Amino acid sequence: MKKIAAVMCALLSMPIAAHAKNPFVAYAPEATAFVECAPEACDALWVKVQPWIARNAPFRISVATDLVVQTFGPLESMADAFAYTVTREPGRITITAHCARVLWGRCAYDPAPAANLLWAELRKESP
């Protein structure tokens, strides 16, 4: 009887462990990265933001202007997917990744790597 109870406990806990990277760690619901740049450099980088978002973000672009590129989402059904908001101000491009599944103000997945992907791409190609 004790063996059956132990097996049942192990089986019931498996889906939880399989879906979350670390079920004991909670992350902030959004992460932000900045690219500081001169006006001409910001212009060159901004041209690359929208195509990168279109290729790499899990959600389609909902807003694309000279100052903001934002995707739809995030959706509750996609726990490890992130929505993006990228804004432009003089001398700075701000990249924010928003978590899909927020519980009590915390996220099960870390949005920082998602924000840093675009940051790294822009820094790699910066003039």
Tell me which residue has tokens 């195509």.
Answer: 51
The confidence band for 104, taking pLDDT boundaries of 50, 70 and 90, is low
Whether 103 is covered by a domain: the verdict is yes
Whether 36 is covered by a domain: the verdict is yes
Contact 87, 93 (CB under 8 A): yes
Helices (H), ranges, the chain:
2-19, 39-56, 112-125
Predicted local confidence at residue 105, as pLDDT: 66
Full residue range of the structural domain in which residue 53 is found: 24-125
* Tally of domains within the chain: 1
Helices (H) and strands (E) in the chain, counts: 3, 7
Whether 79 is covered by a domain: the verdict is yes
Whether 1 is covered by a domain: the verdict is no
Tell me which residue has tokens 């978590």.
Answer: 99
Predicted local confidence at residue 14, as pLDDT: 36
Whether 4 is covered by a domain: the verdict is no
Whether 98 is covered by a domain: the verdict is yes
CA-based nearest residue to 79, from 62, 63, 102, 97:
102
CATH of the domain at 70: 3.30.310
